Chain A
């Protein structure tokens, strides 16, 4: 049950897990305050001791037993995280998440996309068309975005 270091890594890995097991993977978002000793409750008027809550995101798949987690306590991240969870719920893959252009963490199985629109795409960039390795990668990403 690893905690991933960045939200981006968490979202990318979660997207891959959802892609692999779309039907029984669930995402839990926990908003919680640190537990306090009930015996020593501080008086109500001590704002200086206000505990800082944390937000834990967990993606879990019972079939494979894979569990991914990310924890934060920054309020500024909430909106972006929830919006991303919405994209995941809609079946977005890694490329469609719209995160930074970091290379995919793991190569997915369906790398070969022979039916990528090569002819249409390569017409305006005939000079760059020689670098076939890079092009194939780009085409795959775009194809995935449109398809799913």
Chain B
């Protein structure tokens, strides 16, 4: 699949994460690895992939050959990040993941409040 632009990738990833979090089931897999094929002297671009872990192959445990619905098909996203874009990309990437992975444990509220207070004090 052709790689998406960073913008499209983030939009789709946000969507994928929020859907998974809403359903409270399923997985999202994110991988990063150096893109092969570039000459080894330069720093390689990084290939980022995101999938929902569904497989289009039929489940071998089931004897019945069921036709999968279209909505069940695998979600696959990918994008390529040039070495000089890494920092900016990962800043946004971290934000998207932070915002989308709402199923994880929230930060302790008391701690958050105490911090907010401290911050306000130093500002005033």
A residues with CB within 8 A of B = 22-33, 35-36, 50-55, 72-76, 78-80, 82-83, 85-87, 89-91
**Which one of A33, A50, A51, A90 lies within 8 Å of B83 (CB-CB)?**
A90
Chain B residues positioned under 8 Å from A76 (CB to CB)? 107
Chain A: minimal CB distance from B104 (Å): 4
**Which one of B23, B33, B101, B105 lies within 8 Å of A31 (CB-CB)?**
B101
Chain A residues positioned under 8 Å from B27 (CB to CB)? 30-33
Complex contact B94–A78 (CB within 8 A): yes
* B34: Cβ under 8 A from any A Cβ: yes
Complex contact B90–A27 (CB within 8 A): no
* B5: Cβ under 8 A from any A Cβ: no
Segment 32-89 of B: residues with Cβ below 8 Å from A? 32-34, 36, 40, 43-44, 46, 53, 81, 83, 86-87, 89
List the A residue with the shortest CB-CB distance to B43: A91
**Contact A82:B94 (CB < 8 A) given known A23-B36, A31-B20, A32-B28:** yes
List the B residue with the shortest CB-CB distance to A35: B25
Contact residue range for chain B? 35 or more
Chain A residues positioned under 8 Å from B89 (CB to CB)? 86
Complex contact A50–B104 (CB within 8 A): no
Chain B residues positioned under 8 Å from A25 (CB to CB)? 33
Q: Majority SS of interface residues in chain A?
A: mixed
Complex contact A73–B86 (CB within 8 A): no
**Which one of A28, A78, A83, A91 lies within 8 Å of B29 (CB-CB)?**
A28
**Contact A53:B93 (CB < 8 A) given known A23-B36, A24-B33, A32-B27:** no
List the B residue with the shortest CB-CB distance to A47: B24
Chain A: minimal CB distance from B117 (Å): 18
Complex contact B33–A75 (CB within 8 A): no
**Contact A27:B31 (CB < 8 A) given known A75-B104, A79-B94, A79-B95:** yes
Chain A residues positioned under 8 Å from B106 (CB to CB)? 75
**Contact A86:B86 (CB < 8 A) given known A33-B26, A74-B104:** yes
**Contact A75:B95 (CB < 8 A) given known A24-B33, A89-B32:** no
Chain B residues positioned under 8 Å from A82 (CB to CB)? 90, 93-94, 97-98
Complex contact A32–B26 (CB within 8 A): yes
Most-contacted residue by chain B among A26, A73, A80 (CB, 10 A): A26
Task: Give A28 to B30 CA distance when docked, in angstroms.
Answer: 5
Chain B residues positioned under 8 Å from A83 (CB to CB)? 90-91, 94
